[in-house]
Amino acid sequence: MISNFEYKNFCILVAEEAGKFVMNYFDKDFEVFSKDTKNNLVTEVDKGCQELIKNKISNRFPDHSIIGEEDGDSSLSNISEFTWVIDPIDGTTNFANGLPNFSISIGLLKNSEPIAGSIWIPWPNENRCLIFSTAKDEGSWIDNRKIDINNPQFSLGEGAISSYSSFSPIFGNKSRKIKPMNIRLRGDKRVIGSVAYEMAMLTKGVISFALLGPAFIWDFGAGLLLIKEAGGVVLELDNNYEPKSEFTSFLNTNYQKDEETFEKLKNWTGKFIAGNPDIMKLNNHEKFV
Amino acid sequence: MISNFEYKNFCILVAEEAGKFVMNYFDKDFEVFSKDTKNNLVTEVDKGCQELIKNKISNRFPDHSIIGEEDGDSSLSNISEFTWVIDPIDGTTNFANGLPNFSISIGLLKNSEPIAGSIWIPWPNENRCLIFSTAKDEGSWIDNRKIDINNPQFSLGEGAISSYSSFSPIFGNKSRKIKPMNIRLRGDKRVIGSVAYEMAMLTKGVISFALLGPAFIWDFGAGLLLIKEAGGVVLELDNNYEPKSEFTSFLNTNYQKDEETFEKLKNWTGKFIAGNPDIMKLNNHEKFV
């Protein structure tokens, strides 16, 4: 039997290769397609990167299920208790326009609960990237360094950063009605445009609080476990943006190895707030923390 | 007499050294201070970087005036028709928390009108940075490549990015009253947290439209000329966020070489919208473009 730790190491290796593939294209010319809606781009790089990741996974774990952002309706892979959820480029609009805030997210679920994953992001260092990784009950790492969200590299207090999705109600007049929005009085607001990138930054202590999503299972598959295993708190929000429960798995009913359940995972969307335990308490979420 | 082009080359050399200095600290430990207000941080790195830049300038141009973000009330340098406006780290909150979206901005004004400048930003390439530079009537460059905002590397149309300050009214209920805000229906919104970084990205074609500021002269000293010299349009906004004129200089009255004028420059604040001519026309600003 393969341990979560070993799955995590596999996720790192795949992220490394996928990152190299993507960086061959970043800031260069490539084909851009528009997906179904406005501002929902997909590029040849998303497609190529997803192929690369899927091939690596199915060579090593031929029985596992795979859900990728760029699947469309075409793919119906095996149905297994193990499901890989991959976003070959999270933040494609940033990538396609040339903004270096995007990510590659690779997560592994067992019965709809994340057990391992990695997030690759570009970074202005010698490697040109950071690789975040996580294994359930084992912890979270940046490259080879284990991380603890409660012992951040810096503790800035009032100079903290909070981040939001460009789809979130902070941009509309509805914001005042929405309770988690009282956090917007704390810290400097950012809209980065890649939810997996935000979760990586939250795990690193760069961002102190985030309103994540609404987004899909391939966006969240690695990052939520990454935050939790680093000691952070992740609360799922209901439709009124009220915290409903601490996150553990994507489907709260018993996981069934059938097509209907697989379709549920594929179509799953959700939103979360996340941060270190202190900031979550300050924000009146004590009962969940 | 020194040409604008030669001033620009000097700005590049200083930006290169300042960038190296800052990258010795990025993502490492350093002292953080809080300035006057919440979320207005300053670090030992801002201070050291400003010293480095000021020394380079006063060694080469001992008669020129210098205005730096970190001056406080202490500094009253020479009063000259040439004034350097420098922001040693624009986006200090990002830098201090460890988010690689910040910049170093060095601008030179002659009689309050920008004539040369450079913006350094971190980047996930081999040099770990890009250096943008500009000289009045000569053009704008990224590293050694001359750039034209009307021939962007990519032209994404509907998948474009627009950017906003975290202080801008897009975050409040006032947004609907404010005319330029109708642009928020176009493109994917970002809040990056460094106005000089945004202006660099706009010049590169990464961002298609930006609502810049409110911010200070050291934030805008290099970037507004950078955009204009790349073929972009920069409109100054009045207090109601209505475009009032195309930007040419920071003081529209005749520039006087006296202390009062120098103080005006030091205390100047403003806000702008900027983009390529096409997107500015679409946004009903034809009469200015």
Whether A210 shows a pLDDT value over 50: the answer reads yes
Residues B45-65 pLDDT 10s: 999 999 999 999 999 999 999
pLDDT of the residue at A284: 60
Does the predicted TM-score (pTM) go above 0.95?
A: no
Contact between A210 and A224 (Cβ < 8 Å): no
ipTM: 0.92
For residue B228, the distance in angstroms to the closest alpha carbon of chain A comes to 20
pLDDT of the residue at B87: 97
pLDDT of the residue at B173: 36
Whether B120 shows a pLDDT value over 70: the answer reads yes
Residue of higher predicted confidence among B287 and A6: A6
Contact between A107 and A85 (Cβ < 8 Å): yes
Q: Are residues B138 and B75 in the same domain?
A: yes
Residues contacting residue B200 through CB under 8 Å, at least 6 positions apart:
B103, B119, B121, B130, B132, B223, B226
Judged by a CB distance cut-off of 8 A, whether residue A24 touches chain B is no
3-state secondary structure of B26: coil
Average pLDDT of chain B, as a whole number: 86
Residues B248-269 pLDDT 10s: 999 977 778 888 888 999 999 9
Portion 43-102 of B in contact with A at CB < 8 A: 93-94, 96-101
Portion 34-53 of A in contact with B at CB < 8 A: 34, 38-41
Contacts of B159 in chain A (CB under 8 A): 32, 34, 38-41, 93, 96-97
Q: Would residue A232 count as lying in a domain?
A: yes
Q: Are residues A175 and A135 in the same domain?
A: no
Q: Are residues A221 and A125 in the same domain?
A: no
Q: Are residues A22 and A105 in the same domain?
A: yes
Q: Are residues A194 and A122 in the same domain?
A: no
Q: Say how many CA atoms lie within 13 Å of B220 toward its Cβ.
A: 29
Q: How far apart are the first and last CA of chain B?
A: 33
Helices B4-23 and B44-60: crossing angle, nearest 10°?
150
Question: Among B84, B114, B146, where does a domain finish?
Answer: B146
**Rounded CA separation A101/A128 (Å):** 12
Judged by a CB distance cut-off of 8 A, whether residue A33 touches chain B is no
Among B94, B123, B162, B190, most A C-beta atoms within 10 A, so best to mutate, is B190
Q: Would residue B232 count as lying in a domain?
A: yes
Q: What is the mean pLDDT of residues B39-45?
A: 77
Label residue B37 left, alpha or beta by phi (over 0 means left) and psi (-120 to 50 means alpha): beta
Question: Among A105, A124, A146, where does a domain finish?
Answer: A146
Among B31, B97, B121, most A C-beta atoms within 10 A, so best to mutate, is B97
Which pLDDT band, with edges at 50, 70 and 90, does A181 fall under? very low
Q: What is the mean pLDDT of residues A61-77?
A: 79
For residue A170, the distance in angstroms to the closest alpha carbon of chain B comes to 7
Strand partners, B269: B216
Domain with residue B273: its CATH number is: 3.40.190.80
Using alpha carbons, select from B12, B71, B22 the residue that is nearest to residue B216: B71
Q: Would residue B152 count as lying in a domain?
A: no
Q: Would residue A251 count as lying in a domain?
A: yes
Contacts of A192 in chain B (CB under 8 A): 190, 192
Q: What is the mean pLDDT of residues B107-116?
A: 97
**Rounded CA separation A189/A252 (Å):** 32
Contact between A241 and A271 (Cβ < 8 Å): yes
Which pLDDT band, with edges at 50, 70 and 90, does B172 fall under? very low
Q: Are residues A120 and A183 in the same domain?
A: no
Q: Would residue B151 count as lying in a domain?
A: no
**Rounded CA separation B78/B81 (Å):** 10
Which pLDDT band, with edges at 50, 70 and 90, does A26 fall under? very high
Q: Would residue B214 count as lying in a domain?
A: yes
pLDDT of the residue at A208: 87
Q: Are residues B189 and B112 in the same domain?
A: no
Classify each residue of B241-277 as buried b or exposed e, where b means 16 or more C-beta atoms within 10 Å of its C-beta: bebeeebeebbeeebeeeeebbebbbebebbbbbbbe
Which pLDDT band, with edges at 50, 70 and 90, does A36 fall under? low
Which pLDDT band, with edges at 50, 70 and 90, does B284 fall under? low
Q: Are residues B90 and B11 in the same domain?
A: yes
Q: Are residues A163 and A96 in the same domain?
A: no
**What phi, psi does A84 have (nearest 5°)?**
-90, 135
B159 closest CB neighbour out of A41, A129, A159: A41
Whether A65 shows a pLDDT value over 80: the answer reads yes
Whether B1 shows a pLDDT value over 70: the answer reads yes
Q: Would residue A95 count as lying in a domain?
A: yes
pLDDT of the residue at A182: 46
Q: What is the mean pLDDT of residues A26-37?
A: 73
Q: Are residues B192 and B136 in the same domain?
A: no
Q: What is the mean pLDDT of residues A114-118?
A: 98
Q: Would residue A152 count as lying in a domain?
A: no
Label the pairing between strands A139-142 and A129-135. Answer: antiparallel
Q: Are residues A128 and A161 in the same domain?
A: no
Contact between A266 and A67 (Cβ < 8 Å): yes
Question: Among A118, A146, A174, where does a domain finish?
Answer: A146
Strand partners, B66: B84
Q: Are residues B137 and B253 in the same domain?
A: no
Q: Annotate chain A with DSSP letters as a single string.
A: ---HHHHHHHHHHHHHHHHHHHHTTTTS---EEE-SSTT-EEEHHHHHHHHHHHHHHHHH-TTSEEEEGGGTTT------SEEEEEEEEESHHHHHHT-S--EEEEEEEETTEEEEEEEEEE-SSTTSEEEEEEETTTEEEETTEE--TTS-S---GGG-EEEE-TTSGGGSGGGGG-GGGGGGGSSEEEB-S-HHHHHHHHHTTS-SEEEEEEEEHHHHTTHHHHHHHTT-EEEEE-TTS-EEEE---S--SPP-SSHHHHHHHHH-EEEEEEE-HHHHHHTT-GGG-
Domain count, chain A: 2
pLDDT of the residue at B253: 73
Comparing A62-66, B101-105, B178-182, B243-247, the range with the smallest average pLDDT is: B178-182
What domain range is B197 assigned to?
157-288
For residue B136, the distance in angstroms to the closest alpha carbon of chain A comes to 26
Other residues' Cβ atoms within 10 Å of the Cβ of residue A258: 10
Which pLDDT band, with edges at 50, 70 and 90, does A175 fall under? very low
